[in-house]
Structure 1
Amino acid sequence: MQNLFDEVGSLDKRSYSEFGLTEDLLMEHAANGMASYIKESFTQGAKLTIVCGCGNNGADGLALARLLHLHFNITLFLARTPTSEMAKLQYKRIQNLNIKESEILVESDILVDALVGTGFKGELSPTLTDLLHDMNKMTAFKVACDVPSGFVFHADVTLTMGALKKSLFCDKVKDLVGEIKVLDLGIHRDLYETESSTKLLDEDDLELPYRTQQNSHKGSFGHLSIAHGEMRGASTMSALAATRFGCGLVTLITHDNNNSFVYSLMSSAQLPKNTSALCCGMGLGNAFSNDDLETFFDNAYPLILDADIFYMPIILQLLKRDSLVLTPHPKEFISLLKLTNLADISIEELQKNRFTYVELFCDK
């Protein structure tokens, strides 16, 4: 799992106080990281346009221009005059390099967006918005410095500094960030970061139940019981997925004696005694009474809960369990927030502030 952060300003300050780094050093390493990526990915001499803003994101772009000077055919587009101290310093450093500046966007092989970064607050001006739309129309390979500016720029790759930001993983920006790469800032990422309560799951986090002992059988790999509800396709798919992922035994719990399965799956009217985990909610509908559900959950088994169960009052009891996995989609999560008296909000509000409401729910 990787840590996700709201912002990294506090991590920067920690690197100053604990590791003796400076803002200038961090910026130099950020620019070096971007330069290394571009050198490794593109042929020397390719046309490179760097669009710079007036703040520290623009300063990163100016430092990048200095480092790639003579390696690439560089054109600088200054959207605004440098105003931050670092932007002024980086602009001063390139004055004697004769790097070409242009007042219009020119087609190139590579386009770097260094307009605004994570420190930008408020809304983009119409001028900057129009500029970003013009940049999006260009055929160049598009590189975002830290984050795509205003989440308007459509990047092919985002080279983000130091650590992953939550903003890069919001639904509305998933199609804007492209591939995400984290650049170190003078110290290893493990030292730069602190622990975060918000995590990003990786493929490496998937631990399938591989057979490590020869003296084993299907019962050695768990028994999952799944409530087989009205919309049977959902629970059937869950059962097949559990089997595919390595669960030794999977049983569908159903009261329908005449039930016929498209696939050869075990079924039972009662919860098997050797159950090791329960799954309930997907396609549940009204197939089970409250008494049925009370009986179903009258144990200490680990739970995987989904879909319809999030609209039922019994969820309030189940949330007290220690071993619990919840998989709600937005509408179901809104129901959870309402049942727990945490919030009564619209889907639009939730989508704008997903991390905020998930953290609110988890803190409870």
Structure 2
Amino acid sequence: NPKIATLIASLNETISANPLVLALSVDMPSGLDIAGSPSPLAFRANTTITMGAPKLGLFHDLAKDYVGELICADLGLCEGLYTSGVSSDFLLEMSDMRLPSRIIQNVNKGDFGHAFVACGDMSGAARLCALSALNMGAGRVSIVAKKKLKDLEPEIMLKRNFSGASAVAIGMGLGGELYDIDEILALPCVVDADMFYHPSVLSFCAKAGAVLTPHPKEFASLLAFAGFGEFSVKEVVLNRFALARAFSQKFPATLVLKGANTIIANASKLYINCLGSAKLAKGGSGDVLSGMILALLAQGYDPLLASITATLAQAKIAANYSGSAFSYTPKDMIKGIKCL
């Protein structure tokens, strides 16, 4: 309808010129389809009041810049009238975060696990992961490297194999470096980055104790290896809910599909973290997230709770950051772990 299109375009111009104006959408912003995919022209609300129960499409990455703050109106009726009774989709809140606790005092470093990080061609990624794990509560942290590392932080040990590990992270900055993964498969593990371009990643997919943390391009490669077919990055983004669920139906590993809204998929269920921000769009953020998950696995968390807690903690740290959004770095994130 040309009349409505002209109206929406005019409203969007007003909203853009005055960020303080209330731009209110009812149920779903005009121009978004039920899956959350926007038309070429869609209303950019800063507040959306949805009816009955939140729609999954409101949490699509492509909808994030159109939905704004989400409020659910119950219309005086119980939520059960709007849902199927047994939901397979869950919206995460900060109250779902379960940070490590050190209430018991008669403990030693061995009680909090030994986190290992496999180092590859780009050692900086492994170091970020290791420092993150150290700050997230792992009792000890080691980097496994096939070459000597210069200026390694004194708190981090250098190892030649994975003997003694409680949990392992592999993939970040791996490049062309290869490891015998049989030793890693016996342990809880985090798989990231370059591992998604190697066929051996399928061994981790079949492991219930593994957490896979791809971004959309890496997930496209993973889907090809896993027999789902060839997908472009755009197709992954458009179909992220369906693809994440299908992957979790086929494989026991926990999937953390990164994006504007992170999807955690486990046993056909989706857990959606919509609390992240553009501050996190910086190289190295994923390495720090992997380190946080690694530390929790080393401390005995199950993969799902480790993934939920780490992604929420990452969002909380970014929200706490008082500097400009574009200046946020992975090192700021690691510092922020200390203040959770």
- The code of the aligned residue for 1:353 comes to N
1:297 aligns with 2:187: no
Summarize deviations over 1:79-117 as a string: whole Å, max 9, x none.
Answer: xxxxxxxxxxxxxxxxxxxxxxxxxxxxxxxxxxxxxxx
Identity of aligned residues (%): 38
Cα 1:157/1:226, change in 2 over 3 Å: same
Distance 1:322 1:238 in 2: 22
Cα 1:316/1:212, change in 2 over 3 Å: same
Cα 1:201/1:334, change in 2 over 3 Å: same
SS in 2 for 1:207: coil
Distance 1:243 1:214 in 2: 19
Distance 1:266 1:325 in 2: 24
SS in 2 for 1:132: helix
Partner of 2:24 in structure 1?
Answer: 143
Partner of 2:126 in structure 1?
Answer: 235
1:1-364 aligned at under 5 Å gives the runs 125-138=1-14, 139=18, 140-151=21-32, 152-189=42-79, 193=83, 194-261=85-152, 264-273=155-164, 275-288=165-178, 292-299=179-186, 301-364=187-250
Q: Aligned residue pairs: how many?
A: 235
Cα 1:258/1:150, change in 2 over 3 Å: closer
Distance 1:226 1:313 in 2: 20
SS in 2 for 1:255: coil
Q: Which runs of 5+ in 1 are unaligned?
A: 1-124
Q: Which runs of 5+ in 2 are unaligned?
A: 33-41, 251-340
1:188 is displaced (CA, Å) by: 4.5
Contact 1:209 1:221 in 2 (8 A): no
TM-score by length of 1: 0.60
Contact 2:58 2:64 in 1 (8 A): yes
1:327 is displaced (CA, Å) by: 0.7
**Which structure has the larger Rg?**
1
Cα 1:352/1:235, change in 2 over 3 Å: same
Distance 1:338 1:225 in 2: 28
Distance 1:234 1:195 in 2: 40
Distance 1:158 1:338 in 2: 37
- Name the Cα RMSD after superposition: 2.0
Distance 1:259 1:293 in 2: 24
Distance 1:153 1:248 in 2: 49
Distance 2:149 2:231 in 1: 42
Name which structure has the greater RCO, CA cutoff 8 Å, separation 6+: 2
Distance 1:251 1:338 in 2: 32
1:174 is displaced (CA, Å) by: 1.0
Distance 2:181 2:143 in 1: 17
Distance 1:343 1:146 in 2: 35
